[in-house]
């Protein structure tokens, strides 16, 4: 398939959750377009695997083992990237979590089992994590009078989900928080938009059965469960320089909702 050139050559981008799935696809697609990419995630090994792929396209790659729910780690990671490249053009907040399941357990079984800590964990990565990363990167983007922030949320943050209330609620929070940032920082030419995927074939869904994939595909007008690159392509649209769109959310679910 032809690569759409959004003018990423020489741009610098941070991608969180870059070790796998959607974050990895975003990093590789940005690298393909000529961007230098900084890969954020908690574990070093998956980030190194993404780095190997990105390096094939000739740009620079930085690996930042960072937990985005940690304010200090997020800020320090961003300072390190800025020290290397002296600008940060694009931030993609992709990192996310889902509940770990015991063998034989369904997400639905968890509905009423969350305690305060396990409930708030979703918020700490999804909305607090975006908040941390945004606040650290904004002064740099303000200085440049340019920035493109893309937040990966979930369609369940709009439609609701029957299985995990804190996942759904934290994604809804992340969608509206995107709008709050958009309204405040538009004057600095920093745009904030979000992408809400439906089901995507990533390690997060490794516990889903083939029957579940087939069921979701059967409910999807475009006929299949998304691959990570299909989400990344939508994210890239929001990262382009010539953009008069901010505070918007794009559902990328093959037409299911
Ligand atoms: N797959 C789906 O069906 C689907 C649907 C809708 C929305 N989404 C959203 O899409 C995003 C990407 O998910 P995915 O499907 O690509 O899943 P994934 O393959 O599990 O990727 C999630 C990534 O986030 C990183 N991460 C998790 N917690 C982190 C933290 N505190 N700090 C930094 N990095 C962290 C993980 O790496 P480490 O563990 O090494 O940190 C991992 O690389 C998530 O926000 C998810 O909620 C996914």
The residue nearest atom 16 of ligand 1, judged by CA position, is 21
What three-state secondary structure class fits 28? helix
33 C-beta closer than 6 A to ligand 1 = no
Say what the pLDDT of residue 207 is.
Answer: 86
Question: Which of 43, 96, 226, 254 has the most ligand 1 atoms within 8 A of CB, as the residue to mutate?
Answer: 96
Q: Indicate the top mutation candidate among 15, 17, 64, 136 to test ligand 1's pocket, ranked by most ligand atoms within 8 A of CB.
A: 17
Return the DSSP state at 250: E
Question: Over the stretch 86-120, which tens digit does the pLDDT of each residue have?
Answer: 999 999 999 999 988 888 888 888 999 999 999 99
The residues that are catalytic are 167
**Residues 126/153, Cβ–Cβ less than 8 Å:** yes
Instruction: Read off the pLDDT of residues 213-256 as tens digits, 9 standing for 90 and up.
Output: 999 999 999 999 999 999 999 999 999 999 999 999 999 999 99
User: Is residue 30 very low, low, confident or very high in pLDDT (cuts 50, 70, 90)?
Assistant: very high
CB 38 within 8 A of CB 50: no
Residue ranges of alpha helices (H) inside 33-164 are 44-55, 71-85, 116-144, 156-159
pTM for the structure as a whole: 0.98
Burial tier of 60 (Cβ tally within 10 Å: 0-12, 13-18, 19+): middle
Torsion angle of alpha carbons 58, 62, 63, 67, nearest 10°? -130
Percent of the chain with pLDDT over 70: 100
* 43 Cβ inside 6 Å of ligand 1: yes
Cα 6 to ligand 1 centre (Å): 25
DSSP code string of 145-172: T-EEEEEE--THHHH--SS-HHHHHHHH
Ligand 1 mean position to 53 CA, how many Å?
Answer: 18
| Mean pLDDT to the nearest integer, 23-47 | 98
3-state helix, strand, coil in the chain (%, to 5): 50, 15, 35
Joined together, the tokens standing for residue 5 give 């050139």
Asked if residue 152 has its Cβ within 6 Å of ligand 1, the reply is: yes
pLDDT digits (tens, 9 = 90+) for 122-136: 999 999 999 999 999
73 CA to centre of own chain: 18
pLDDT score for 102: 82
163 pLDDT above the threshold of 80: yes
Delimit the domains of the chain by residue range.
12-209+235-252
Hey, what long-range contacts does 41-45 have (CB within 8 A, 24 or more apart)?
41/16, 41/17, 41/65, 41/66, 41/95, 42/66, 42/67, 43/19, 45/19
CA of 179 to the centre of ligand 1 (A): 21
Residues 6+ apart with CB under 8 A from 205: 199, 213
Provide the CATH number for the domain formed by 12-209+235-252 in this structure: 3.40.50.720
Ligand 1 contacts CB of residue 19 (under 6 A): yes
- Model pLDDT, residue 61: 98
Closest CA to 171 of 149, 195, 191, 147: 195
Atom number of ligand 1 nearest to Cα 231: 10
Confirm or reject: Cβ of 27 under 6 Å from ligand 1.
no
Of ligand 1's listed atoms, the one at least distance from the Cα of 155 is 6
pLDDT for the residue numbered 76: 98
């Amino acid at each position: 398939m032809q690569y759409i050139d959004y003018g990423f050559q020489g741009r610098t981008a941070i991608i969180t959750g870059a070790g796998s799935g959607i974050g990895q696809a975003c990093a590789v697609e940005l690298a393909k377009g000529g961007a230098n990419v900084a890969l954020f995630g908690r574990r070093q090994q998956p980030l190194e695997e993404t780095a190997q792929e990105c390096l094939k396209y000739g740009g620079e790659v930085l690996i930042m083992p960072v937990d985005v729910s940690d304010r200090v780690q997020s800020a320090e990671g961003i300072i390190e990237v800025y020290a290397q490249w002296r600008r940060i053009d694009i931030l993609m907040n992709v990192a996310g979590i889902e509940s770990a399941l015991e063998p034989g357990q369904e997400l639905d079984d968890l509905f009423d089992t969350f305690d305060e800590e396990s409930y708030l964990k979703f918020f700490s990565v999804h909305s607090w994590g975006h908040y941390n990363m945004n606040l650290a990167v904004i002064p740099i983007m303000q200085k440049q009078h340019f920035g493109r922030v893309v937040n990966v949320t979930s369609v369940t943050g709009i439609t609701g989900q029957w299985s995990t209330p804190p996942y759904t609620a934290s994604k809804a929070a992340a969608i509206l928080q995107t709008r709050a940032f958009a309204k405040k920082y538009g004057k600095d030419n920093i745009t904030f938009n979000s992408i809400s995927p439906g089901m995507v074939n990533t390690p997060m869904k490794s516990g889903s059965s083939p029957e579940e994939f087939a069921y979701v595909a059967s409910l999807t007008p475009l006929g299949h469960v998304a691959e990570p690159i299909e989400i990344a392509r939508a994210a890239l649209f929001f990262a382009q320089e010539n953009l008069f769109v901010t505070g918007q959310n794009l559902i990328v679910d093959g037409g299911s909702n």
